[in-house]
Homo-oligomer: A and B are copies of this chain.
């Protein structure tokens, strides 16, 4: 099948392209970022348009390759911190791009199945324990608000125009090639052989850590599974919570370091104390998470050491 990925040059996007191409699909992409043709070929990406998700670029893909069976929409803001620094940019990347994509699908490809990647940030704070998809949504950052607005827009197009759309809310996705956020920061400091690792927050923040290689398998699984006509929202989490301190310890262990960890005790703005998925929906889809955290962390450290040696 012909599948399109917006934001295909991002961290999750690149893993997803590899997964879909390995499954025998023709994969085309649009989004921001220069991508070397050899690099694109190695990923399995047949076409890459470096630009906005807009009608002109979507038309160009359709003219060259026909309509897609599926569109995976990964383009959008990807940082809580940046969304606070530059909220309008985050709005444009997340909400306005989705508006243009939905309108294009409505006009030209109403049968296409749209898989939209959202975020657990829509849940906000105030959730203790596993969070079901039906929980009250109280995002606490522009990033979370914009993801929620994006979902709302999808729901509107499903309701009024019969667009076929499933939203997958991702939790804390990590894995090879992730060059930002907690795991990257910790490994970068370990490489510099800091005696003490000083981290923000309390260390007790609970997150649902999922390896990106599992996550892209899940996205493909959702796309190829049975579709309801309704708007569908699925937690893309494992249901297993581990604290930030636990992650730091695990990485230090795999690194083979004796560094001590210290937390500032001060939470960062926009940072909930717990974000853990109720994973009943994913279980019901017969999806199995294959990479346990221990292996994921070990792989991450191995990747990190390998790429910094190069």
A interface residue numbers (CB < 8 A to B)? 84, 87-88, 91-92, 95-96, 99-100, 103, 106, 139-142, 145-146, 148-149, 152-153, 155-157, 159-161, 269-270
Q: Across the interface, which residues of B come within 8 angstroms of A146, CB to CB?
A: 156
23 example contacts (A-B, Cβ-Cβ < 8 A) are as follows A84-B160, A87-B103, A87-B106, A87-B156, A87-B157, A87-B161, A88-B100, A91-B99, A92-B99, A95-B95, A95-B99, A95-B149, A96-B96, A96-B99, A140-B159, A141-B156, A145-B155, A146-B156, A148-B152, A149-B149, A149-B152, A152-B152, A160-B269
Least distance between A143 CB and chain B CB atoms (Å): 9
**B156 near A152 (CB under 8 angstroms)?**
no
Least distance between A34 CB and chain B CB atoms (Å): 28
Number of copies of this kind of chain in the complex: 2
Least distance between A55 CB and chain B CB atoms (Å): 10
The closest CB in chain B to the CB of A83 belongs to B160
The closest CB in chain B to the CB of A149 belongs to B149
The listed residue (B149, B160, B269) touching A153 by CB distance below 8 A is B149
**B148 near A160 (CB under 8 angstroms)?**
no
Least distance between A118 CB and chain B CB atoms (Å): 14
Least distance between A156 CB and chain B CB atoms (Å): 4
The closest CB in chain B to the CB of A269 belongs to B160
Give Cα A242–Cα B161 distance, bound, in whole angstroms. Answer: 31
Interface centre among A140, A155, A156, A159 (most CB of B within 10 A): A156
The closest CB in chain B to the CB of A145 belongs to B156
**B140 near A145 (CB under 8 angstroms)?**
no
Q: A145-B152, A152-B145 are in contact. Are A160 and B87 (CB under 8 A)?
A: yes
Q: Across the interface, which residues of B come within 8 angstroms of A270, CB to CB?
A: 160
Closest 7 CB pairs of A and B: A145-B156, A88-B103, A149-B149, A91-B99, A142-B156, A149-B152, A142-B160
Give Cα A152–Cα B155 distance, bound, in whole angstroms. Answer: 15
Give Cα A142–Cα B95 distance, bound, in whole angstroms. Answer: 15
Least distance between A146 CB and chain B CB atoms (Å): 8
Give Cα A159–Cα B141 distance, bound, in whole angstroms. Answer: 8
Give Cα A27–Cα B88 distance, bound, in whole angstroms. Answer: 27
The closest CB in chain B to the CB of A98 belongs to B91
**B160 near A141 (CB under 8 angstroms)?**
yes
Interface centre among A84, A142, A269 (most CB of B within 10 A): A142
The closest CB in chain B to the CB of A91 belongs to B99
Q: Across the interface, which residues of B come within 8 angstroms of A95, CB to CB?
A: 95, 99, 149
Give Cα A159–Cα B146 distance, bound, in whole angstroms. Answer: 13
Q: Across the interface, which residues of B come within 8 angstroms of A96, CB to CB?
A: 96, 99
Least distance between A125 CB and chain B CB atoms (Å): 11
- 20 extra A-B contacts, CB within 8 A, seeds A87-B106, A149-B153: A87-B103, A87-B157, A87-B161, A88-B100, A91-B99, A91-B103, A91-B153, A92-B99, A95-B99, A96-B96, A96-B99, A139-B156, A140-B159, A141-B156, A142-B157, A145-B153, A145-B155, A145-B156, A149-B152, A160-B270
